[in-house]
Amino acid sequence: MSLTPENVRSLLNSDDFGDRLRAVNQIRALDTEVACELLQVAAADKNTRVRYAAVSQLANLKGCDRAALLPMLRHTLVNDPEPDVQAAAADALGALQLTEAFEDLKTAYETSAEWLVQFSIIAALGELGDPRGFELLQSALASDNELMVTAAIGSLGELRDDRALPLLLGYVDAGDWQIRHRVVQALSQFDNAEAKAAIAQLSQDKSHIVAEAAKAPHSVILRLTAGLQ
| Domain end point (choices 101, 129, 157) | 129
pLDDT in tens, 24-63: 999 999 999 999 999 999 999 999 999 999 999 999 888 8
pLDDT at site 216: 80
Asked if 95 and 199 sit in the same domain, the reply is: no
**Do 13 and 117 share a domain, yes or no?**
yes
User: Are residues 105 and 49 part of one domain?
Assistant: yes
pLDDT at position 185, please? 94
- Cut 0.85: pTM above it: yes
Pair 19, 94 in one domain: yes
Higher pLDDT pick, 169 / 225: 169
Residue 109 shares a structural domain with residue 172: no
- pLDDT-derived band at 217 (thresholds 50, 70, 90) equals low
Q: Is the dihedral of CA 125, 127, 128, 133 positive or negative?
A: positive
Q: What is the 3-state secondary structure (H, E, C) of 176-217?
A: CHHHHHHHHHHHCCCCCHHHHHHHHHHCCCCCHHHHHHHHCC
Average pLDDT, the chain: 93
What is the maximum alpha-carbon separation in the chain?
Answer: 64
176 shares a domain with 85: no
Quote the number of domains for the chain: 2
**Which pLDDT tens digit goes with each residue over 4-31?**
999 999 999 999 999 999 999 999 999 9
Domain range spanning residue 166?
Answer: 131-229
Q: Is the CA virtual torsion 143, 199, 158, 156 positive or negative?
A: positive
74 and 102 inside one domain: yes
CATH number at residue 188: 1.25.10.10
Please indicate, yes or no, whether residues 21 and 86 belong to a single structural domain of this protein: yes
Judgement on whether residues 103 and 183 belong to the same structural domain of the protein: no
Domain boundary among 88, 109, 129: 129
The residue among 69, 98, 129 that closes a domain is 129
pLDDT in tens, 103-135: 999 999 999 999 999 999 999 999 999 999 999
Same domain, 14 and 120: yes
Does residue 2 sit in the same domain as residue 104? yes
